[in-house]
Amino acid sequence: MSLFAQTEPATGSWLSTGLLLAVAVTSLAAGLWLLLPKAGRDSRWPWRLGAALGLLALGLFVVTGQRLGNLGEEAVFLIVSLVAVVSAAATITCRSPVYAAIWFALCLAGVSGVLLVLGAQFLGVATIVVYAGAILVMFLFVLMLAQPSGLAASDRVTNEPLLSAVAGAVLLGLLSLSIGRLSAEDPACCRPPSKAAALAGEPTSPVPVGEAVDLLAADQVARLGGELFGRHLVAVEAVGVLLLVALIGAIAIVSHGLEGDQAERSSLQEGGSP
Amino acid sequence: MTPAVLLAAAPLPLLQNGLMVGAILFSLGLVGILTRRNLIVMFLSAELMLQGISVSLVAWSRYHGDFGGQVLVVFVLSVAACEAAVALVFVLQAFTRTGRLDSAAWQSLRESTLARSVDHEIPAIDAPLPVFPRLTPAGVSPEADADAALQREHV
């Protein structure tokens, strides 16, 4: 079982796949629109209806995926991806920005689980350490520094919730259509290409020349490090310089901004104009 | 199930599942960055989109048996860290100038042909405020800071 079933969909089924996908997209848009904070909300029922519609859309996407291609088999993958997706939806619909940040942390846990299932052990751990450990804590620091009063008025309304929800849902529908059409027989997209031929711009030969690596070998982290510091050494150095520049730039902006503010204020006081 | 069996069993379904999760995360992040008005939540949504891209890259890397996708995700991670540092500094600057984290506080930067956006109706706080336990005071009480009390009603 995988998210997109390998078997051909039954042609005579009473519900066509396109109709299912349309219903999924519509209910996702409606659910997101109901969940997003907006004016005129005085009871809990829009939230409940929106959550129900969102879960319905999720189920419909799974069913549509099964008809388009293959449906997901690993229970672990389904569970961690469900955690990631549901908490991502909670991140963008939560009214309090602090709760949004906490939901984002849960989403990161789910994403790191997905990365682990996909065989990227180092990245799964690095996502937790770098994102949840450093970047998210920085967000929370800024929130605590800056939030004037917990629930600002601007957190309870949104810009164009209906249009944005429709845009996101339609984008997801289009993406899932194109993902469902991927198949191993299509030589242009999905056959593992031979690296040498791809680099030379030649058409890929049916037999891959560059050997595919077993990504799940026991020493995969060591081999990832070898790849990183072998083929991509210059890029790693460049990223190191970028990190340093960002650090210096952040400090410079802060200190210069403070000086600029003080200069502005003193000039205003000397000029006597407001 | 051993890893080797996992690798051999279902390369294409695993790729499609990973791409689907990445697509969902990307779409949700897109909706968030379009609608939300808090600068920090907009920023969280951008990070959500980056997470979706990372999942897609790792799925392709697994499918092709190539470390290229994972290496790219390492770079995405570092650039996201840089971006977070610089953007949070800008958010702080914007906050010290306007006193709000609202992106509409900067709407004087809009095109001259666009109308000014006005909040017609602000919904009331629908959830009851959390009640925190009150600890027994001990020691010397510090001098009260009126500004700090104004800023921290609740979170």
pLDDT of residue A217: 73
**CA–CA min distance A92, chain B (Å):** 5
> Looking at the predicted structure, is the pLDDT value of residue B62 above 80?
yes
Query: Chain A within 8 Å of B106 (Cβ-Cβ)?
Result: no
Percent share of chain B, pLDDT over 90: 31
Phi, psi dihedrals of residue B8, rounded to the nearest 5°? -80, -25
Per-residue pLDDT band at B136 (split at 50, 70, 90): confident
What is the DSSP track for chain A?
A: -EES-SSPPPTT-SS-HHHHHHHHHHHHHHHHHHHS--TT--SSHHHHHHHHHHHHHHHHHHHHHHHHS-EE--HHHHHHHHHHHHHHHHHHH-SSHHHHHHHHHHHHHHHHHHHHHTT-HHHHHHIIIIIIIIIHHHHHHHHHHH-SSSS-GGGS--SSHHHHHHHHHHHHHHHHHHHHT--TT-TTTTSPPPHHHHHHTPPPPSS-SSPPP-TTSTTHHHHHHHHHHHTTHHHHHHHHHHHHHHHHHHHHHHHHHHHHHHHHHHHHHHH---
Predicted TM-score (pTM) of this structure? 0.75
Per-residue pLDDT band at B65 (split at 50, 70, 90): confident
Q: Which CATH architecture has domain B7-99?
A: Orthogonal Bundle (1.10)
Taking residues B10-14, report their average pLDDT. 71
pLDDT of residue A30: 83
Answer whether B41's CB lies under 8 Å from A251's CB.
Answer: no
Across the interface, of B7, B21, B96, the residue whose CB is closest to A214 is B7
Q: A106: nearest CA in chain B?
A: B48
Query: Chain A within 8 Å of B42 (Cβ-Cβ)?
Result: no
More reliable by pLDDT, A112 or B3: A112
Taking residues B35-47, report their average pLDDT. 91
Residues in Cβ contact with B87 at an 8 Å cutoff, skipping those fewer than 6 apart? B43
Partner A, chain B 12-31, Cβ-Cβ below 8 Å: 12-21, 23-31
Give the count of beta carbons closer than 10 Å to the beta carbon of residue A233. 10
Query: Chain A within 8 Å of B50 (Cβ-Cβ)?
Result: no
Phi, psi dihedrals of residue A9, rounded to the nearest 5°? -70, 145
Across the interface, of A156, A223, A224, the residue whose CB is closest to B123 is A156
Taking residues B15-37, report their average pLDDT. 92
* B102 chain-A contacts, CB cut-off 8 A: 152-154
* A167 chain-B contacts, CB cut-off 8 A: 30-31, 34
The reply to whether residue A131 touches residue B80, judged by beta carbons under 8 angstroms, is yes
**CA–CA min distance A271, chain B (Å):** 20
Structural domain spans, chain B: 7-99
User: pLDDT tens, B94-110?
Assistant: 888 887 788 888 888 88
d(CA A58, CA A28): 8
d(CA A239, CA A230): 15
pLDDT of residue A57: 82
- Kindly report the length of chain B: 155
Q: Each residue's pLDDT tens digit in chain A (274 positions)?
A: 445 544 444 444 556 777 777 888 888 888 888 887 766 555 677 778 888 888 888 888 777 766 665 544 567 788 888 899 999 999 998 888 888 899 999 999 999 999 988 888 899 999 999 888 888 888 888 887 776 555 677 777 888 888 999 999 999 999 988 888 876 555 455 555 555 445 545 444 444 434 556 667 778 888 889 889 988 999 999 999 999 999 999 999 888 776 766 666 676 666 544 4
pLDDT of residue B66: 82
> Looking at the predicted structure, is the pLDDT value of residue B9 above 60?
no
Per-residue pLDDT band at B70 (split at 50, 70, 90): very high
What is the DSSP track for A51-112?
A: HHHHHHHHHHHHHHHHHHS-EE--HHHHHHHHHHHHHHHHHHH-SSHHHHHHHHHHHHHHHH
**CA–CA min distance B64, chain A (Å):** 5
Q: B7: nearest CA in chain A?
A: A216
Q: Which of A245, A241, A263, A265 is nearest to A253 (CA)?
A: A245
Across the interface, of A2, A138, A161, the residue whose CB is closest to B35 is A161
Q: A213: nearest CA in chain B?
A: B65
d(CA B34, CA A234): 36
The tokens for A227 are 């790849």
More reliable by pLDDT, B51 or A96: B51
